């Protein structure tokens, strides 16, 4: 159905204006034009005394149409953005001749809430969610939100809601003054009609949010609040300008009044729409929603079967994390271990995971007890016939896994999904001793599994679309972002992470200071540098993972002795108090002269420094030498069809390896930097430092043809999905 807006006038003289644009009634251009047209008509008509605006099908509005924002970013045409804030929200609605009330059910986000705030009052159901989440898209509110929200709820709360993109529920909104009245769903429209008539007939005040001053703090308090918020934003988002611009608009409103603030907001909003940050974050918004659209799988009309009961085999760190994720979403779990000692340890870890939520105030003791009761520890497979999905999470031993899957095939129902959390073993090998290849699938979680948002769903050429659809659905139920990937060493995240983790010691061997490498990567926006990460995961794991890549792709590996040399000195990473860094009792890291000496010794032994002297290199080039190899491996992943679409790689790198979301994920970033430039650099480093940097044919071809990495791979590519 085409987006539209309807107007219906009741015998009471109230015009009901309804937004239709499923699924979230986004404010697409025709909707905005429709609102303007219907408001103008209602203002003109003699039989209309007051107006109620509402959204169709239980949702007020999810805000300005983000598809349209993306279009504007592509065309670069600012005129398309229009003057909605001033002409429509302020002059037509807020300052209109007749009062208007927003009747809010469900979502009122971004432009949706801004529309509601431009009305003279708001009535909502108890299920309403109200927020201005624009900053998570790299923009600032642009329909007057930076002015009206502080005037309705006070500066501190408004700033918190905007900077954290955090909505409030109806009850809190009511307490704050954002919602004037909460009504039962069935009575929402009637209550809003009455409120609108009460304003028209002077039984209630005719409020205009933009003109209000009662909730805004005095100038000096306001300055302090904004100053504090600026410092917080700088700390939390050092590479982003739009949070500061949001505060600029708010500040202008406090100093010069709401109208002046709205004018500044309009200007800064337009600027933000064209920023690289917004392009990147909008890419992430759509990429995240695209992961569940898998060609040849989710377009077959298959209905996901509800996986109501699960079993996890192995109660170690991963198994207990997976079980925690399942029970947190109310899915009962059988946790299987080989003996009582391991079982109790696994159950203890699950309890610990929940206790830490209680400590952080995310869960009550009562809820914890209820959640914990959903897990049952077992030492045999007796109850496995009752489960809909099994996730195996034992140690990486092929023989053991093969035995487990052969056993599972015997004891589980023939429709049960048999998943493995392996991060290294070929899935075809795991299922080799079974005839259940169609329901054997990878469910690769990231540690800690109950916290990390990504789930790699690994399919083989035997896995059935139904099994994939079922697991995608389970991923959504347990609040993960599922990405469907093909079967190869390291799947997607670990595979593109390998070259990054090898480039760091390679740079070190070329004479670059190791702490500088970490600092550059942090400044780029990763949560931590590669050496700090190695310390965190522990050197045993880091070495084992590196080894797999070297075995799978010896021609493009780099073997460094740095970690091995640290281990010889008894430094194993953060858990032992020292690795690349030394750690105090509160696990705060400090550079360590001993590690630096070991680094120098490794450099000498490696003999990579040209003429025995450290290379001279800029910070920018350090970041490039670490991350262009990631782009290179991503290109291989795309060419081989391990990832069906570049946007999946964007999500996988952001959620799995901490690639900064505001750079849009690895493919989006590579396109922004320029594939040609990347290939030229890789070729130069190949000549200087060896084949580790050699660009793959696919990337070279894309550079030559000018086709972006994010463009679809042609259908004759050798797909392994």
Q: Considering the complex, what minimum distance in angstroms separates the CB of residue 643 from ligand 3HC?
A: 18
User: Binding to ligand 3HC by residue 535, rule CB under 6 A?
Assistant: no
Residue 4 CB contacts under 8 Å (≥ 6 apart), including other chains: 20, 21, 30, 31, 34
User: Binding to ligand 3HC by residue 243, rule CB under 6 A?
Assistant: no
User: Binding to ligand 3HC by residue 3, rule CB under 6 A?
Assistant: no
**Contact status, residue 377 vs residue 386, Cβ threshold 8 Å:** no
Helix axes 530-537, 514-524, angle to 10 degrees: 100
The alpha-carbon radius of gyration of the chain (Å, integer) is 28
Question: Toward ligand 3HC, which CB reaches closer, 145 or 573?
Answer: 145
Q: Considering the complex, what minimum distance in angstroms separates the CB of residue 137 from ligand 3HC?
A: 6
Q: Considering the complex, what minimum distance in angstroms separates the CB of residue 85 from ligand 3HC?
A: 8
Q: Considering the complex, what minimum distance in angstroms separates the CB of residue 677 from ligand 3HC?
A: 32
Nearest 5°: phi and psi at 396?
A: -80, 75
Question: Toward ligand 3HC, which CB reaches closer, 142 or 319?
Answer: 142
Residue 236 CB contacts under 8 Å (≥ 6 apart), including other chains: 243
Distances (CA, A) of 403 to 53, 394, 461, 486, 488: 62, 12, 21, 23, 22
Residue 700 CB contacts under 8 Å (≥ 6 apart), including other chains: 679
Is 569 an active-site residue? no
Contact code string over 563-582 relative to ligand 3HC, x by CB under 6 A: --------------------
- Binding positions for ligand 3HC, 280-309, rule CB under 6 A: 289
Question: Toward ligand 3HC, which CB reaches closer, 111 or 660?
Answer: 111
Strands 417-420 and 440-445: parallel
Question: Toward ligand 3HC, which CB reaches closer, 289 or 308?
Answer: 289
User: Binding to ligand 3HC by residue 106, rule CB under 6 A?
Assistant: no
User: Binding to ligand 3HC by residue 150, rule CB under 6 A?
Assistant: no
Helix axes 340-359, 365-372, angle to 10 degrees: 150
User: Binding to ligand 3HC by residue 149, rule CB under 6 A?
Assistant: no
**Which of these segments, 20-28, 353-361, 507-515, 638-646, binds ligand 3HC (CB under 6 A)?**
20-28
**Contact status, residue 335 vs residue 310, Cβ threshold 8 Å:** no
Question: Toward ligand 3HC, which CB reaches closer, 67 or 364?
Answer: 67
Check the CA dihedral 34-36-37-39 and report its sign.
positive
Distances (CA, A) of 175 to 54, 145, 218, 305: 22, 19, 21, 41
User: Binding to ligand 3HC by residue 482, rule CB under 6 A?
Assistant: no
Given the residues 114, 265, 337, 624, select the one marked as catalytic.
114
Q: Considering the complex, what minimum distance in angstroms separates the CB of residue 282 from ligand 3HC?
A: 9
Q: Considering the complex, what minimum distance in angstroms separates the CB of residue 476 from ligand 3HC?
A: 9
User: Binding to ligand 3HC by residue 137, rule CB under 6 A?
Assistant: yes
Closest CA to 471 of 384, 409, 390: 390
Closest CA to 391 of 326, 488, 448: 326
**Which of these segments, 130-138, 299-307, 360-368, 572-580, binds ligand 3HC (CB under 6 A)?**
130-138
CA 558 to chain centre: 31
**Which of these segments, 106-114, 341-349, 448-456, 551-559, binds ligand 3HC (CB under 6 A)?**
106-114
From the list 3, 96, 111, 319, which residue makes contact with ligand 3HC (rule: CB under 6 A)? 111
**Which of these segments, 49-57, 107-115, 148-156, 188-196, binds ligand 3HC (CB under 6 A)?**
107-115
Is 134 an active-site residue? yes
Distances (CA, A) of 354 to 350, 367, 369, 521: 6, 10, 9, 33
User: Binding to ligand 3HC by residue 1, rule CB under 6 A?
Assistant: no
Question: Toward ligand 3HC, which CB reaches closer, 119 or 427?
Answer: 119
Number of shown-chain residues binding ligand 3HC (CB under 6 A): 22
Q: Considering the complex, what minimum distance in angstroms separates the CB of residue 382 from ligand 3HC?
A: 38
User: Binding to ligand 3HC by residue 498, rule CB under 6 A?
Assistant: no
User: Binding to ligand 3HC by residue 488, rule CB under 6 A?
Assistant: no
Q: Considering the complex, what minimum distance in angstroms separates the CB of residue 226 from ligand 3HC?
A: 20
Q: 298-310 burial, b if ≥16 CB within 10 A, otherwise e?
A: beeeeebbebebb
Question: Toward ligand 3HC, which CB reaches closer, 262 or 394?
Answer: 262
From the list 134, 388, 624, 671, which residue makes contact with ligand 3HC (rule: CB under 6 A)? 134
Nearest 5°: phi and psi at 571?
A: -100, 115
Given the residues 8, 71, 95, 134, select the one marked as catalytic.
134
**Which of these segments, 110-118, 217-225, 363-371, 650-658, binds ligand 3HC (CB under 6 A)?**
110-118
**Contact status, residue 21 vs residue 28, Cβ threshold 8 Å:** yes
User: Binding to ligand 3HC by residue 114, rule CB under 6 A?
Assistant: yes
Question: Toward ligand 3HC, which CB reaches closer, 48 or 130?
Answer: 130
User: Cβ-closest residue to ligand 3HC?
Assistant: 110
SS3 399: helix
- Binding positions for ligand 3HC, 21-80, rule CB under 6 A: 23-24, 26, 62-67
From the list 145, 154, 530, 665, which residue makes contact with ligand 3HC (rule: CB under 6 A)? 145
Cβ neighbours, 10 Å, residue 403 = 13
d(CA 585, CA 579): 14
From the list 7, 109, 155, 657, which residue makes contact with ligand 3HC (rule: CB under 6 A)? 109
- Helix residue ranges, H only, 1-100: 29-44, 66-75
**296 cis-preceded (ω within 30 degrees of 0):** no
User: Binding to ligand 3HC by residue 83, rule CB under 6 A?
Assistant: no
CA 527 to chain centre: 14
Question: Toward ligand 3HC, which CB reaches closer, 133 or 490?
Answer: 133
Question: Toward ligand 3HC, which CB reaches closer, 23 or 607?
Answer: 23
Q: Considering the complex, what minimum distance in angstroms separates the CB of residue 274 from ligand 3HC?
A: 14
Q: Considering the complex, what minimum distance in angstroms separates the CB of residue 684 from ligand 3HC?
A: 41
d(CA 160, CA 165): 8
Helices (H) and strands (E) in the chain, counts: 28, 19
Strands 14-20 and 4-9: antiparallel
CA 236 to chain centre: 16
Match 């500088």 to its residue by tokens: 516
**Contact status, residue 312 vs residue 391, Cβ threshold 8 Å:** yes
Residues with catalytic annotation? 114, 134
- Which spans of this chain sit near ligand 3HC (rule: CB under 6 A)? 23-24, 26, 62-67, 107, 109-111, 114, 133-134, 137, 141-143, 145, 289
């Amino acid at each position: 159905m085409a987006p539209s807006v309807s107007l219906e006038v009741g015998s009471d003289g109230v015009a009901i204006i309804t937004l239709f644009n499923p699924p979230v009634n986004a404010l697409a251009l025709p909707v905005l034009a429709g609102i303007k047209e219907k408001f103008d008509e209602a203002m003109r008509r003699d039989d209309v005394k007051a107006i109620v605006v509402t959204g169709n099908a239980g949702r007020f509005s999810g805000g300005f149409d983000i598809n349209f924002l993306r279009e504007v970013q592509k065309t670069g045409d600012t005129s398309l953005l229009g003057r909605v804030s001033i002409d429509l929200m302020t002059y037509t609605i807020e300052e209109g001749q007749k009062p208007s009330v927003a009747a809010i059910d469900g979502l009122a986000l971004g432009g949706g809430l801004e529309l509601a705030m431009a009305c003279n009052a708001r009535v909502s159901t108890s299920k309403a969610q109200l927020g201005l989440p624009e900053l998570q898209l790299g923009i600032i509110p642009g329909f007057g939100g930076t002015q009206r929200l502080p005037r309705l709820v006070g500066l501190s709360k408004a700033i918190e809601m905007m900077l954290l993109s955090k909505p409030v529920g109806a009850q809190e909104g009511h307490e704050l003054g954002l919602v004037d009245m909460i009504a039962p769903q069935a009575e929402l429209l009637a209550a809003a009609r009455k409120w609108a008539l009460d304003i028209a007939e002077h039984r209630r005040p005719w409020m205009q949010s933009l003109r209000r001053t009662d909730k805004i703090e005095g100038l000096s308090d306001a300055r302090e609040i904004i100053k504090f918020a600026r410092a917080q934003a700088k700390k939390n988002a050092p590479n982003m300008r739009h949070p500061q611009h949001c505060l600029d608009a708010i500040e202008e409103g406090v100093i010069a009044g709401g109208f002046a603030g709205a004018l500044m907001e309009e200007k800064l909003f337009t600027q933000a729409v064209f920023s690289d940050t917004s392009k990147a974050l909008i890419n992430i918004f759509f990429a995240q929603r695209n992961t569940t659209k898998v060609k040849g799988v989710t377009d077959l009309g298959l209905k996901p079967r509800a996986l109501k009961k699960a079993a996890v085999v192995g109660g170690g760190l991963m198994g207990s994390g997976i079980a925690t994720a399942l029970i947190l979403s109310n899915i009962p779990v059988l946790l299987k271990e080989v003996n009582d000692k391991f079982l109790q340890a696994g159950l203890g870890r699950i309890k610990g995971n929940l206790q830490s939520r209680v400590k952080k105030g995310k869960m009550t003791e009562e809820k914890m007890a209820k959640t914990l009761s959903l897990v049952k520890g077992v030492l045999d497979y007796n109850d496995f016939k009752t489960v809909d999905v099994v996730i195996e999470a034992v140690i990486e031993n092929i023989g053991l896994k093969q035995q487990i899957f052969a056993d599972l095939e015997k004891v589980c129902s023939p429709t049960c999904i048999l998943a493995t959390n392996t991060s290294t073993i070929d899935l075809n090998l795991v299922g080799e001793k079974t005839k259940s290849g169609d329901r054997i699938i990878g469910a690769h979680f990231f540690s800690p599994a109950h916290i990390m948002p990504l789930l790699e769903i690994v399919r083989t050429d035997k896995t059935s679309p139904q099994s994939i659809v079922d697991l995608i659905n389970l991923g959504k139920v347990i609040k993960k972002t599922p990405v469907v990937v093909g079967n190869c060493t390291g799947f997607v995240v670990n595979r593109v992470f390998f070259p990054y983790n090898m480039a760091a010691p390679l740079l070190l061997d070329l004479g670059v200071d190791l702490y500088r490498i970490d600092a550059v990567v942090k400044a780029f926006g990763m949560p931590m540098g590669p050496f700090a990460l190695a310390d965190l995961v522990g050197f045993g794991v880091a070495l084992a993972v590196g080894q797999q890549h070297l075995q799978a792709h010896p021609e493009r590996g780099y073997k460094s002795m740095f970690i091995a040399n640290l281990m010889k000195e008894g430094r194993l990473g953060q858990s032992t108090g020292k690795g690349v860094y030394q750690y105090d009792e509160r696990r705060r890291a400090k550079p360590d002269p001993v590690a630096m000496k070991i680094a120098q010794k490794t450099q000498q032994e490696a003999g990579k420094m040209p003429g025995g002297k450290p290379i001279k290199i800029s910070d920018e080039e350090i970041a490039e030498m670490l991350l262009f190899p990631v782009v290179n491996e991503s290109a291989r992943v795309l060419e081989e069809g391990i990832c069906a679409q570049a946007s999946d790689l964007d999500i996988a790198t952001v959620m799995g390896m901490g690639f900064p979301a505001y750079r849009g994920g690895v493919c989006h970033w590579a396109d922004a930097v320029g594939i040609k430039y990347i290939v030229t650099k890789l070729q130069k480093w190949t000549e200087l430092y060896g084949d580790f940097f050699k660009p793959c044919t696919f990337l070279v071809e894309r550079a030559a043809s000018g086709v972006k990495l994010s463009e679809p791979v042609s259908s004759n590519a050798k797909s392994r999905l």
